A and B are shown apart, each in its own frame.
Chain A
Amino acid sequence: MSAVAPRPGDPAITPALVAEHGLNALEYEHLVAMLGRTPTFTELGIISALWSEHCSYKHSRPLLKTLPTTAPYVLQGPGENAGVISIGDGLAVAFKIESHNHPSAVEPYQGAATGVGGILRDVFTMGARPIAMLDSLRFGSLDSPRVRYLFAGVVKGIGDYGNCVGIPTVAGEIVFDGAYDGNPLVNAMCVGLMHERDLIRAKAEGVGNPIIAVGARTGRDGIHGASFASEDLSAASDAKRPRVQVGDPFTEKLLLEASLELIKSDYIVAIQDMGAAGLTSSSAEMAERGDVGVTIDVTKVPTRESGMSPYEILLSESQERMLVVAKRGHEKDVAAILGKWDLTAAVIGEVIAEQVYRVTEGDTVVAEFPGSRLVTDCPSYSPEARESPTVRGLREADPTAVRERPEEQDPLWTFEQLLSAPTIASKAWAYRQYDSTVRTNTVIGPGGDAAVLRVRGTNKALAVKTDCNGRYAYLDPRVGGRIAVAEAARNVACTGARPMAITNCLNFGNPTRPEVFFQLKEAIAGMGEACRALGTPVTGGNVSLYNESAAGAVYPTPVVGMVGLIEDLSYVTRATFRQDGDAILLLGEMGGELGGSEYLATIHGAVLGPPPACDVAREKATIDALLEAIRSGVVSSAHDCSDGGMAIALAECCIADPEAESGAEVDLSRWGHLPNRALLFGETQGRFVISSQVPERVLTIARDAGISCTRIGTVRSGSDALAITLAEGVLRAPRSMMRRAYHDTIPGIMSRAPERAQQAEIGVGGH
């Protein structure tokens, strides 16, 4: 070991400074014991980033280990930049989801844009070419100008970045709920396609190999972004806006092309994005995976401005930068590839035999840690988990006891309210701003159940979707965790795809609070149950904790990003009715559960009752039956029945696709024992609305699988309405009304107010 002395001008290490760096007493003791001395300011900064929740997963690691992560086709599970699965023909898919909640809460445009940039880099550093982006977004109520400002900014940020790089944004979800008022959730997922032979891991290897910084120069932006993302949002968060990085999609596009060329070139052994905690985490993680030592000289790092300290260079989160471990002797070849794309490459360090993580400033050592397990050496925690009695009370409340409003006498009123609820209504206002057709693979774009992308050179396609119902997870995190996986699987299956694997993004509050840790623990357990039953392992993901503002924690929101495989393009199935005279069938039970429903939330402002039951074995059997019917060629359309229940699913089948509208006649009178609101708007799980020319075949397949299936109506292309016969009377919804409610709601809201709230109105968590 070499001598490490404080750098002139560095602040003294005091308890206050340690606290400011987010280390608790236990962690600081651990650090001192590890070093055998007081850390330097630079070392404290490094550890502050690496042991932040964002980088270290210190509250979630033990829980995440319980998730299933293997299958014969999983080529890379958790622990890398992205998970990778094989899809046959020598091809593989790399995919991952990541949150950018905190930056987006204070600076929506750049926060969301850099979220897209970061996840793109995680995928192309595996050797895959990104082929699709998805975005799972949650905002507060659109009644608030601040929320409209956040929504507009996030959507524009996602669009401007992805559009410029030239990766289609094809799917996702957008939910509006007061629970996200002070703390929006912005989760971005990227899917990439590669040859299995090009798979590369971010593992530093080979003593003497050079470590090279490539891409953009390092500036003072985003310093402490990882730590910022690991604390609650407060009124003071606004002052941390400078911690939000600024994205440059043009440089990203160049970096993408250069990186893929590098990976194919055989000149490098490892490559990783300098993402959260920048140079620090990328170098420490690569060293840890390779179980080697590294040394880095910060004076060799190309910077945007002079006079940057080692602390700043190490912790900068300037965007569009990569760290590469090259093969010794190929430094010039690497530089030549970067040079072709007008990017720079600088050798900043090397892999060493000594088990040490060392940072120098010229010849002076400014930080040095023994061992190679800097990240996982962080203490991990399993704090107390205890359900909030308030939430238990809400769950145990009886939803049928909620008195109907007088307007509900006419179910058409309720129907229109729900169809125009922002969470249900069409999100075309947002996705029209995303290029969804570039790269010419998009078979089904945004607006369907899942997006479908063809795989060139094969007869296969991929189906991708993100899902989560935070209200369910709030009322019962275990059931909510199960449903997030099951719903994503159903959505993917509706297109004809077999669900293959998931990536997850766990958005929760402050884990040191027992009720939050309970939610985290239960939701992960529920996800694990569903993943095991459905045969969809978790190949990676991201945990975002401390999603809290003055208004409290967000709903626990364990978002699932699912990838499914369509074995034959002829199986590709759409959500909306296709053909006049087709029979309409319900695959699954009618049920009628109202707990945690969109109906209760929108019509009654009530979040209560047990969320719908989710029997994961039955979900699997229902999905298998649907896929068998699709592969038999007897399914014209298939749509998952979820938010808003049966009536909303039927409406979407009629009018969601403006290019292929139709009417329908449906008879639900056989379920006359159910109250209208439960029948029409209940959210029982495991249900599909299918249309078919040969319903007998579908009925037979379902019967053989032991799954309930009922013919409920007929597609009427020429009809100008959806007519649902009830035990008493008929709900007749004109197409013109449905079209207006579904398609015009969000554009109407977004045009009625100034798109950007004045800065003066901004105060995170202030209301």
Chain B
Amino acid sequence: MKFGIVTFPGSNCDYDAYHALTDVLGEDAVYLWHKDHDLKDADVVVLPGGFSYGDYLRAGAIARFSPIMQEVAAHARTGGPVLGVCNGFQVLCEAGLLPGALVRNANLQFISAPVRIRVESTETLFTNRYEKGELLKIPIAHGDGRYFAPRAVLDALEGEGRVIFRYADARGNTSADANPNGSERNIAGIVSEHGNVLGMMPHPERACSPLLGSDDGVRLFESILARVAA
């Protein structure tokens, strides 16, 4: 399987995603340049973390207009898998491929910390290798990660089983204390209506080695492989 990792000017987790996919998972991966209109036959598109266009104006607001995003949107519309992590999640929301928005963290500070997220659904392209209710230890590193959407949208997301990850404590409780950034309903990751687009603030590509503290992110990529290869 081939992964295409988009490099916007200011992306800084593109290399980490590349390393996780090639060195850890042994898959084929290519970088996709923001000025191009070519997905290079990638089966799965990854929008990595970073500060695309410096996050000027608003995180993700400029990146959505870059040439490559037209191809990413077309890929998503035809059911192609797209994973947006951190800044990638922000770009997906700005591009309208996912509902809602990521706003400034509730404490108004950038937060870099290992957090726990609870797997809410294993029925998706991205989570079929996890157990429902399983707790994953995955780092976050963001200043604008507070998920926000109108109540009706949140209710719809919940009703359709599209909330995939929630921030939780070590016992699995999705309490306010376990919510690092003030996200509505502790939401850490959601999928699109057809389940082929995932946006999440925590960084699964940074959780691919026990040496670095966790390899809980590996199964997210293995889930995609299991489903897309099948």
B-contacting 9-mer, from A248-256, A364-372, A665-673? A248-256
Given contacts A437-B212, A442-B212, contact A342 B13 (CB under 8 A): no
| Chain B, 89-136, CB within 8 A of any chain A CB | 109-114
Q: Which residues of B contact A297 (CB under 8 A)?
A: none
Instruction: Say yes or no: is B12 at the interface (Cβ < 8 Å to chain A).
Output: yes
Contact with A along B5-36 (1 / 0, CB 8 A): 00001101101100110000000000000000
Tell me, rounded to whole Å, the shortest Cβ–Cβ distance linking A257 to chain B: 9
When the two chains form their complex, are residues A248 and B54 in contact, meaning their CB atoms are under 8 A apart?
A: yes
Tell me, rounded to whole Å, the shortest Cβ–Cβ distance linking A193 to chain B: 13
Q: A248-B54, A437-B203 are in contact. List 9 more A-B contacts (CB 8 A).
A: A163-B141, A164-B12, A250-B53, A253-B9, A254-B9, A436-B141, A437-B212, A440-B206, A456-B19
Residue from the list B19, B110, B114 in contact with A433, Cβ < 8 A: B110
A residues with CB within 8 A of B: 156, 159-160, 163-166, 248-251, 253-254, 341-342, 431-443, 454, 456, 569, 659
Report the Cα distance A248→B10, complex, angstroms. 12
When the two chains form their complex, are residues A249 and B54 in contact, meaning their CB atoms are under 8 A apart?
A: yes
Given contacts A437-B139, A437-B206, A442-B212, contact A432 B54 (CB under 8 A): no
User: Can you name 23 A-B pairs with beta carbons within 8 Å?
Assistant: A160-B110, A163-B51, A163-B110, A163-B112, A164-B10, A166-B13, A166-B50, A249-B54, A253-B9, A253-B12, A254-B9, A433-B109, A433-B110, A434-B110, A437-B112, A437-B141, A438-B13, A438-B206, A439-B15, A440-B19, A440-B208, A442-B212, A454-B211
Output the nearest chain B residue to A431 by Cβ-Cβ distance: B112
> Lowest 7 A-B CB distances belong to which pairs?
A166-B12, A250-B54, A435-B141, A164-B51, A440-B16, A435-B112, A437-B139
Output the nearest chain A residue to B11 by Cβ-Cβ distance: A166
Report the Cα distance A456→B212, complex, angstroms. 12
Q: Which residues of B contact A443 (CB under 8 A)?
A: 211-212
Tell me, rounded to whole Å, the shortest Cβ–Cβ distance linking A734 to chain B: 21
When the two chains form their complex, are residues B16 and A164 in contact, meaning their CB atoms are under 8 A apart?
A: no
When the two chains form their complex, are residues B141 and A440 in contact, meaning their CB atoms are under 8 A apart?
A: no
Report the Cα distance A163→B55, complex, angstroms. 12
Report the Cα distance A219→B39, complex, angstroms. 39
Residue from the list B10, B109, B113, B208 in contact with A250, Cβ < 8 A: B10
When the two chains form their complex, are residues B55 and A164 in contact, meaning their CB atoms are under 8 A apart?
A: yes
Q: Which residues of B contact A251 (CB under 8 A)?
A: 54
Instruction: Say yes or no: is B173 at the interface (Cβ < 8 Å to chain A).
Output: no
| Chain B, 138-174, CB within 8 A of any chain A CB | 139, 141, 143
Tell me, rounded to whole Å, the shortest Cβ–Cβ distance linking B216 to chain A: 14
Residue from the list B56, B109, B141, B209 in contact with A438, Cβ < 8 A: B141
Contact with A along B54-66 (1 / 0, CB 8 A): 1110000000000
Q: Which residues of B contact A454 (CB under 8 A)?
A: 211-212
Output the nearest chain A residue to B35 by Cβ-Cβ distance: A340
Residue from the list A164, A432, A659 in contact with B112, Cβ < 8 A: A432
Tell me, rounded to whole Å, the shortest Cβ–Cβ distance linking B50 to chain A: 6
Q: Which residues of A contact B111 (CB under 8 A)?
A: 432-433
Q: Which residues of A contact B15 (CB under 8 A)?
A: 439
Output the nearest chain B residue to A429 by Cβ-Cβ distance: B109
Report the Cα distance A438→B49, complex, angstroms. 9
Q: Which residues of A contact B10 (CB under 8 A)?
A: 164, 250, 253-254
A-B contact count (CB 8 A): 86
Tell me, rounded to whole Å, the shortest Cβ–Cβ distance linking A451 to chain B: 12
Report the Cα distance A254→B12, complex, angstroms. 11
Given contacts A165-B12, A250-B10, contact A436 B51 (CB under 8 A): no
Q: Which residues of B contact A456 (CB under 8 A)?
A: 19
Report the Cα distance A695→B20, complex, angstroms. 39
Count of chain B residues near A, Cβ 8 A: 31
Q: Which residues of A contact B50 (CB under 8 A)?
A: 166
Tell me, rounded to whole Å, the shortest Cβ–Cβ distance linking A421 to chain B: 23
When the two chains form their complex, are residues A433 and B56 in contact, meaning their CB atoms are under 8 A apart?
A: no
Q: Which residues of B contact A159 (CB under 8 A)?
A: 110
Tell me, rounded to whole Å, the shortest Cβ–Cβ distance linking B118 to chain A: 18
Report the Cα distance A436→B141, complex, angstroms. 8
Q: Which residues of A contact B139 (CB under 8 A)?
A: 437
When the two chains form their complex, are residues B206 and A433 in contact, meaning their CB atoms are under 8 A apart?
A: no
When the two chains form their complex, are residues A436 and B112 in contact, meaning their CB atoms are under 8 A apart?
A: yes
Residue from the list B13, B54, B203 in contact with A164, Cβ < 8 A: B54
Tell me, rounded to whole Å, the shortest Cβ–Cβ distance linking A563 to chain B: 20
When the two chains form their complex, are residues B211 and A569 in contact, meaning their CB atoms are under 8 A apart?
A: yes
Tell me, rounded to whole Å, the shortest Cβ–Cβ distance linking A701 to chain B: 26
When the two chains form their complex, are residues B205 and A440 in contact, meaning their CB atoms are under 8 A apart?
A: yes
Q: Which residues of A contact B16 (CB under 8 A)?
A: 438-440
Q: Which residues of B contact A433 (CB under 8 A)?
A: 109-112
Q: Which residues of B contact A439 (CB under 8 A)?
A: 15-16
Report the Cα distance A454→B53, complex, angstroms. 29
When the two chains form their complex, are residues B51 and A432 in contact, meaning their CB atoms are under 8 A apart?
A: no
Report the Cα distance A254→B50, complex, angstroms. 12
Q: Which residues of B contact A441 (CB under 8 A)?
A: 212
Report the Cα distance A254→B54, complex, angstroms. 10
Tell me, rounded to whole Å, the shortest Cβ–Cβ distance linking B112 to chain A: 5
When the two chains form their complex, are residues A434 and B112 in contact, meaning their CB atoms are under 8 A apart?
A: yes
When the two chains form their complex, are residues A249 and B212 in contact, meaning their CB atoms are under 8 A apart?
A: no
Q: Which residues of A contact B54 (CB under 8 A)?
A: 164, 248-251
When the two chains form their complex, are residues A249 and B9 in contact, meaning their CB atoms are under 8 A apart?
A: no
Given contacts A165-B12, A166-B12, A440-B208, contact A250 B51 (CB under 8 A): yes
When the two chains form their complex, are residues B53 and A435 in contact, meaning their CB atoms are under 8 A apart?
A: no
Report the Cα distance A439→B206, complex, angstroms. 8
Q: Which residues of B contact A432 (CB under 8 A)?
A: 109, 111-113
Given contacts A163-B110, A438-B141, contact A249 B51 (CB under 8 A): yes
Tell me, rounded to whole Å, the shortest Cβ–Cβ distance linking A648 to chain B: 24
Tell me, rounded to whole Å, the shortest Cβ–Cβ distance linking B212 to chain A: 6
Q: Which residues of A contact B13 (CB under 8 A)?
A: 166, 438
When the two chains form their complex, are residues A342 and B9 in contact, meaning their CB atoms are under 8 A apart?
A: yes
Which has the most chain B C-beta neighbours within 10 Å: A438, A454, A456?
Answer: A438
Report the Cα distance A443→B211, complex, angstroms. 6
Report the Cα distance A441→B139, complex, angstroms. 13
Report the Cα distance A437→B10, complex, angstroms. 17
Tell me, rounded to whole Å, the shortest Cβ–Cβ distance linking A344 to chain B: 14
When the two chains form their complex, are residues A341 and B51 in contact, meaning their CB atoms are under 8 A apart?
A: no
Output the nearest chain B residue to A659 by Cβ-Cβ distance: B114
Which has the most chain A C-beta neighbours within 10 Å: B110, B112, B211?
Answer: B112
Tell me, rounded to whole Å, the shortest Cβ–Cβ distance linking A3 to chain B: 46
Tell me, rounded to whole Å, the shortest Cβ–Cβ distance linking A214 to chain B: 16
Output the nearest chain B residue to A434 by Cβ-Cβ distance: B112
Tell me, rounded to whole Å, the shortest Cβ–Cβ distance linking A724 to chain B: 29
Residue from the list A248, A440, A569 in contact with B20, Cβ < 8 A: A440
When the two chains form their complex, are residues B211 and A341 in contact, meaning their CB atoms are under 8 A apart?
A: no
Q: Which residues of B contact A442 (CB under 8 A)?
A: 212
Output the nearest chain A residue to B180 by Cβ-Cβ distance: A432
Tell me, rounded to whole Å, the shortest Cβ–Cβ distance linking B82 to chain A: 22
Report the Cα distance A456→B109, complex, angstroms. 31
Tell me, rounded to whole Å, the shortest Cβ–Cβ distance linking B35 to chain A: 9
Q: Which residues of B contact A434 (CB under 8 A)?
A: 110, 112
Q: Which residues of A contact B113 (CB under 8 A)?
A: 432
Output the nearest chain B residue to A251 by Cβ-Cβ distance: B54
When the two chains form their complex, are residues A440 and B212 in contact, meaning their CB atoms are under 8 A apart?
A: yes
Tell me, rounded to whole Å, the shortest Cβ–Cβ distance linking A190 to chain B: 15
Tell me, rounded to whole Å, the shortest Cβ–Cβ distance linking A156 to chain B: 8
| Chain B, 37-88, CB within 8 A of any chain A CB | 49-51, 53-56
When the two chains form their complex, are residues B110 and A435 in contact, meaning their CB atoms are under 8 A apart?
A: yes
Q: Which residues of B contact A250 (CB under 8 A)?
A: 9-10, 51, 53-56
Q: Which residues of A contact B19 (CB under 8 A)?
A: 440, 456
Output the nearest chain A residue to B108 by Cβ-Cβ distance: A755
Tell me, rounded to whole Å, the shortest Cβ–Cβ distance linking B19 to chain A: 6
Report the Cα distance A442→B10, complex, angstroms. 21
Which has the most chain B C-beta neighbours within 10 Å: A159, A342, A432, A659?
Answer: A432
Report the Cα distance A341→B7, complex, angstroms. 11
Q: Which residues of B contact A248 (CB under 8 A)?
A: 54
Q: Which residues of A contact B56 (CB under 8 A)?
A: 250
Report the Cα distance A456→B112, complex, angstroms. 23
Tell me, rounded to whole Å, the shortest Cβ–Cβ distance linking A767 to chain B: 28
